[in-house]
Structure 1
């Protein structure tokens, strides 16, 4: 089982190094996209025979299609690699495994045909995936001075564009949403890249939607032959505080991981997010108390 880890990062090279070390084995390689708004110099010291930085780098913005673009850059780079990986796992630079490397590789080896991505048919108010995520036209960040000024003025006066008719772009496709993180088989990964090359109308539509990273890959897979193999994604995050970002992993989460390990209720959870510069002690405890037991 050869695994390609696709890691989107923009800061905290110390944690990124720790993540790479924790997952390293003879069976894995890392394909990393560093946000173009960040200096890559502090990351390049991590480069190794199995650690690759994408040649193409783009500025990445939260909730923007640039997150999808960065994921596609990494996926296409990994698919072109001579190693012909079996599994492609999308992570962020602030993730960390809560299972041992041997456990993770064994888990993927035992489930070669599963597509790990949480899918929810839209609209789904209970999962906070309303259809307004598609009908609302989002003006993308960036652009020249005139564009930025115009966006600022429009926002200040409360100007709102009319709802879009997403059904024209979607045609017979059912929209799906879910978590940003996934782990795909090689076949599904190649299908997605091929779909993106052919369905330009749908791809372009997603460029101006709300948080497209939580709908784009989901809609493609949900309308593919691989839908029948889709199961919940393998990354744990805690949104209980209802903030713009998940909770930082803390002592409370460690207790949860331990309890779930005891009753074997988290066998399909391999990674957790997110961690920050103050997470060193928590990471040590994960290594010593959780990963070592799995």
Structure 2
């Protein structure tokens, strides 16, 4: 019996590149589950082109919701995708990626690797020696919605987000005085990691089975998409399933356990461009199967390079 994989994709824009991604994942032992941010306008022609991007895989569309950076809606989108996949078939692995990620290998070779590494969790653990107090505060206190505080920390006082950020800081200080501590309340062992990851079936089941608990704990947190799964793994002592436990430090040449390489050192994150082909070859040789992020419309040479390696059957 063939071992199937489920690709869970959250996309916001750049539908031409999304079509390229879907075609890259189109494989008889893959099914693809797609969440397109409800805030994004999607024409009937774009939808039709997306549907026609795959031939061998089944393509499922998750219910669209509005997704905001740092907001619980990011977690909600992931949970919807996991639930849809688990209700649609049996899969050995679930790969959560964004619409601007791309594979660096053909699917046959990717499947071969995961066949040889069953029942593992692939994520990139963050080095908690740096800024961990800030990470703790994401979940320790109730926060004003990031829909109101915005994404950029240094907003102008002429921007409404500036005042909501100030109010959130005051709100947190009040909670400190009142000794509110959600970490103690929910008995959390805090850790954080990449939100893009690959998990086995048992872990996917664990995530969905704890949907109610996840919402109760993280509904008023900030950027908890990087927290809820590693915390859940610790809660149920699934740490041993993690494939690569070394933590990412300030070394862009290090290995990232999610198998999805992100260059945080040259951007936030860096967007790969024409001329980066040799750098991506090094990323691939280190053992990464995916990378982010890309903007192929601006990088035609890089698109041709990726097409060749993705379609290489060796």
TM-score of the two chains, using structure 1 as the length reference: 0.83
Partner SS for 1:37: coil
- Report the counterpart of residue 262 of structure 2 in structure 1: 237
Structure 1 residue 114: Cα displacement: 1.1
Change (3 A) 1:235 1:16: same
In structure 2, the partner of 1:170 is 186
Q: Could you tell me which residue of structure 2 aligns to residue 226 of structure 1?
A: 238
Cα 1:274–1:115 change in 2 (3 A) is: same
> Are residues 1:257 and 2:280 paired?
yes
Which residue of the partner structure matches residue 246 of structure 1? 269
**SS, match of residue 158 in structure 1:** helix
Where does structure 1 lack aligned partners over 5 or more consecutive residues?
144-150
Aligned pairs (5 A) from 1:36-115: 36-41=38-43, 42-47=46-51, 50-54=58-62, 56-81=63-88, 83-115=89-121
Give the structure 2 partner of residue 286 of structure 1. 306
Distance 1:184 1:15, change over 3 A: same
What count of residue pairs does the alignment treat as equivalent?
Answer: 274
Give a deviation string over 1:129-187, Cα, whole Å, max 9, x none: 632222354322559xxxxxxx948716933212451223331x311101111111111
2:222 to 210, 219, 222: 210
1:194 aligns with 2:214: no
Unaligned runs of 5+ in 2: 149-158, 244-256
Q: Which residue of 1 aligns with 2:37?
A: 35
Distance in 1, Cα, partners of 2:132 & 2:311? 30
CA contact (8 A) 2:126 2:194 kept: no
- CA change 1:156–1:193 in 2 (3 A) is closer
SS in 2 for 1:292: coil
3-state SS, counterpart of residue 46 of structure 1: helix
2:69–2:146 CA contact under 8 A, matched in 1: no
Query: Does structure 2 retain, via aligned residues, the 8 Å contact 1:124–1:130?
Result: no
Q: How does 1:17-28 map to 2 (within 5 A)?
A: 17-28=19-30
Tell me by how many angstroms 1:274 deviates: 0.4
Whole-angstrom CA distance in 1 between matches of 2:42 and 2:72:
21
CA RMSD of aligned residues (A): 2.7
Residue 211 of structure 1 and its aligned partner are, at CA, apart by 0.9
CA distance in 1, matches of 2:209, 2:282: 42
Deviation at 1:223, TM superposition (A): 2.4
